[in-house]
Amino acid sequence: MRRLIRINMGAENPEVREEPIGKYERYGGRGLTSAILSSEVDPLCHPLGEDNKFVIAPGLLSGSASAMSGRISVGCKSPLTGGIKEANAGGQPSQVLGRLGIGAIVLEGKPKKGDLYKIEIGRSGVKVIKDNSLKMLTNYELVDKLKKEYGEKIAVISIGPAGEMRLSAASVACTDMELRPTRHCGRGGVGAVMGSKGVKAIIIDDSDTKHLEPKDSEAFKDANKRFVSGLQKHPVTGQGLPAYGTNILTNIINEVGAYPTYNFKEGQFAGARKISGEVQAQFEKDRGGNPTHGCHRGCVIRCSGIYHDKDGHYLTKQPEYETVWSLGGNCAIDDIDKIAMMDFLCDTIGLDTIEVGVAISVAMEAGILKWGDADGSIRLLNEIKEGTYLGRIIGNGAEYTGKAFGVDRVPVVKGQGFPAYDPRGSQGIGVTYATSPMGADHTAGYAIATNVLKCGGFVDPLKPEGQIELSRNLQIATAFIDSTGMCLFIAFALLDQQDTFQAFLDLLNSFYGWNMTVDDALEYGKDVLKMEREFNVRAGFTSHKDRLPKFFYKEALPPHNKVFMFEDEELDKVFNW
């Protein structure tokens, strides 16, 4: 039986209480964070105030022996978008919490003083301990300190200096199998909300626990075997991602003309090949790193990688496609080693690489740095760490940076910076950016899969036909997958292999004793999106929030010279299911 752990951080001595999961029983991951927030949080509250809640939830299958079930969700009202927010990451914490029988941790209230706390969670219970010695430690410094105190058989959820400063681009770090804080719930400023609760780190120890037992163990084993086989047979999840990581997309997206650079002025970058996944993987092999690595136990795709510097020393996890684009191509930077250093800095400071990279490109447009200035970008990241005035501007994201420097071309929706695909080069992803309750978010409905990679069929990326339906269906499916604890990359195989989708459902059914069908899964996704959209409406969002910035409708993007092609009335139909 899963349970909720509620911690009142506003009490004189933070109060811990445990309770059955109750009315939230059918939810996990994103579904659970959104259900708790929509039911318990005033949408008009200040994101950094005592009335907001910070929810951490493993997925429905986390803690089981299922492959790919290590994603964790965090949720809150976002200081970046002003609406509901879920961000998720890989790493070890989700499975560890799952094995402990924890459905969610809910941080409530806000400390009256400026003290900092760590939370210990294990089989013996939960302890909240004041520890101001942790103040302003970076994530890597923090984890090194915690390893000396607790040993190495732990998992850690933490924030860096950006979260303590409550910057709107602050992330929440999760440790990987090697106990490195490399997996981040990045988007929406979730780290700032964790910081507002006065919590620096959550240390989780699941020693002497076992995988959770399914209702039907034989059916579960059979489903898992079929599920893994399907992932390994698919060319994306079985070949491309393991060999080159997510950055395999750089050459692909650049080739099709949807790779934004110079702050979304052009759709191709001349230096793209220098920072491609192929080059990155070769560096990793040559320097003693590894392009093929899992971020959590049970991962069979293994796309995370390990990146070493020129001297053969560990520098960071393999920079992902979004990071290489945001801190690289979009800023006209084509030095993969400098980009890897920026990835490390974002991880240790606790920053969303997408939001900060887009903010730096806006600062470049304002003339604060020259295009292609990698060293200047590194200096800006260090200014965020030090909390300088300029650092705090960049650390509060792209929209804030645009306002500070008078830039009118700022690629954001609902205050959140665009990811690494130009909506004029992939019209479907533009529909997702515009309409997702989360703000501009590629993972909310990854139309690139069908627009470019031709998974689940093909919808021409340069034409409007079919894009509304594509985005709608992908947003529904994603909300469901995000609730299970599964990595979203399983979707490539699910879109192309009906038997793999059925194996996925069989995992859930054999684990819980359910009889879920494909239609039931889609209804689940709709339910999650409905909760999120209703929260945003109560927060004051109108249909005008479901729009792209005007320049995407007016400025034709080279090389195809297309604009974003959707009328407002068409975007308003996305959720008419």
What tens digit of pLDDT does each residue of 336-393 get? 999 999 999 999 999 999 999 999 999 999 999 999 999 999 999 999 999 999 999 9
Crossing angle of the two packed helices 29-40 and 467-484, in degrees rounded to 10: 90
The CATH code of the domain that includes 361 is 1.10.569.10
Question: Which pLDDT value is given to residue 375?
Answer: 98
Selection from 63, 69, 73 nearest residue 105 by Cα: 73
Contact 459, 453 (CB under 8 A): no
* Residue 502: pLDDT band with limits 50, 70, 90: very high
* Residue 163: pLDDT band with limits 50, 70, 90: very high
**pLDDT (tens digit per residue) in 173-213:** 999 999 999 999 999 999 999 999 999 999 999 999 999 99
**DSSP state string for 352-396:** -HHHHHHHHHHHHHTTSS-TT-HHHHHHHHHHHHHT-HHHHHHHT
503 in any annotated domain: yes
Question: Which pLDDT value is given to residue 236?
Answer: 96
CA distances to 69, 254, 452 from 259, in Å: 31, 5, 12
Question: Which pLDDT value is given to residue 294?
Answer: 93
The CATH code of the domain that includes 446 is 1.10.599.10
> Does residue 82 sit in the same domain as residue 179?
yes
Q: Which amino acid belongs to residue 208? A: D
**DSSP state string for 284-320:** HHHTT-BS-B-SSTT-SS-B--EEE-TTS-EEEEPPP
411 in any annotated domain: yes
Domain boundary among 421, 449, 470: 421
CA 494 to CA 474: how far, in whole Å? Answer: 11
CA 101 from centre of chain: 24
CA 145 to CA 345: how far, in whole Å? Answer: 18
CA-CA-CA-CA torsion for 60, 64, 68, 74, nearest 10 degrees?
A: 40
> Does residue 414 sit in the same domain as residue 428?
no
> Does residue 184 sit in the same domain as residue 96?
yes
Selection from 544, 545, 537, 573 nearest residue 38 by Cα: 537
Mean predicted confidence (pLDDT) in 89-117: 97
Domain that holds residue 360: 247-421
Question: Which pLDDT value is given to residue 386?
Answer: 98
Over the chain, what is the mean pLDDT? 97
> Does residue 74 sit in the same domain as residue 144?
yes
> Does residue 452 sit in the same domain as residue 361?
no
**DSSP state string for 404-455:** HHT-S---EETTEE--SS-TTT-HHHHHHHHH-TTSS-GGGS-THHHHTS-T
CA 446 to CA 465: how far, in whole Å? Answer: 17
209 in any annotated domain: no
**pLDDT (tens digit per residue) in 203-257:** 999 999 999 999 999 999 999 999 999 999 999 999 999 999 999 999 999 999 9
CA distances to 256, 321, 390, 401, 545 from 549, in Å: 22, 24, 25, 16, 10
60 in any annotated domain: yes
CA 294 from centre of chain: 16
How many helices (H) and strands (E) the chain has is answered by 24, 16
Cis status of the peptide bond prior to 419, with omega within 30 of 0: no
Contact 365, 359 (CB under 8 A): no
> Does residue 366 sit in the same domain as residue 291?
yes
Domain boundary among 397, 421, 445: 421
pLDDT score of 1 more than 80: no
Mean predicted confidence (pLDDT) in 486-491: 97
Show Cβ contacts of residue 166 under 8 Å, excluding neighbours closer than 6 positions.
Answer: 48, 79, 192, 195, 196
502 in any annotated domain: yes
> Does residue 170 sit in the same domain as residue 281?
no
CA-CA-CA-CA torsion for 551, 380, 393, 258, nearest 10 degrees?
A: 20
Name the maximum alpha-carbon separation found in the chain.
Answer: 62
B/e letters for 7-44, b = 16+ CB within 10 Å, e = fewer, are bbbbeeebebeeeebeebeebbbbbbbbbbbbeebebe
The CATH code of the domain that includes 162 is 3.60.9.10
What residue spans of 105-246 are helical by DSSP H? 139-150, 161-164, 190-196, 217-233, 235, 241-244
Domain boundary among 146, 178, 204: 204
pLDDT score of 533 more than 80: yes
Mean predicted confidence (pLDDT) in 86-96: 97
Extended beta strands in 99-222, E state: 102-108, 117-122, 125-130, 155-158, 172-174, 183-185, 199-204
Contact 275, 250 (CB under 8 A): yes
> Does residue 280 sit in the same domain as residue 135?
no
Tokens standing for residue 404: 């500070």
Mean predicted confidence (pLDDT) in 80-99: 98
> Does residue 160 sit in the same domain as residue 72?
yes
| 216 burial via Cβ count (<10 Å: 0-12, 13-18, 19+) | middle
pTM: predicted TM-score of the whole model, two decimal places: 0.97
Mean predicted confidence (pLDDT) in 515-523: 97
| 549 burial via Cβ count (<10 Å: 0-12, 13-18, 19+) | buried
> Does residue 314 sit in the same domain as residue 406?
yes
Question: Which pLDDT value is given to residue 224?
Answer: 98
Which residues face 18 on adjacent strands?
5
- Number of folded domains that form the chain: 3
Contact 550, 564 (CB under 8 A): no
> Does residue 48 sit in the same domain as residue 155?
yes
> Does residue 542 sit in the same domain as residue 566?
yes
Query: What H or E segment, with its residue span, contains residue 154?
Result: none
CA 258 to CA 101: how far, in whole Å? Answer: 43
